[in-house]
Copies of this chain bind each other. A is one copy, B any other.
């Protein structure tokens, strides 16, 4: 059994749901995971897995995700959760007022530690920042992100539709394929 270490209910729901779709069951583990200040989620995840090795003998999964806005030099990136808690979607929209380029992406990096083996999987979803928030599903910046090929925001999609194209869905698929191939 793999233990998903997270303090985010939204992440847990999505990841449990996603992996369940591949026949993989996970359990939640509420250990505090030290997340480092780094420029990429991959660095955050590798560091968390290193530290977790000293805290638990269980096989663990961690997820670090971020929202990257090109016109803002990638802001808020790895610090998306904090940015959401403080300035929110309204703040982000304000930073983009008048911007021509509204392209952005979500990224999820999932890290797996199975015994001594460490694996890292990355999923992305490209799109644009909406002019205004729409929808109430999902969490975080979902209400202002419209994936490429869509007219709805992530927050306007049922979770199964979002999962089929999302950064987290793509990363979970790679995790599942890896686990199934063992």
Contacts and interface: CB of A to CB of B under 8 A. Distances in A.
A87 B94 CA distance: 12
A121 interface: no
A37 interface: yes
Nearest to A44: B37
Interface in A62-87: 72-79, 82-83, 85-87
Given A34-B36, A34-B47, A87-B95, 19 more contacts: A35-B36, A36-B37, A37-B78, A37-B79, A37-B82, A72-B86, A72-B87, A72-B91, A73-B86, A75-B83, A75-B86, A75-B91, A76-B86, A77-B86, A79-B79, A91-B95, A94-B94, A94-B97, A95-B95
Interface of A: 34-37, 44, 47, 72-79, 82-83, 85-87, 91, 94-95, 97
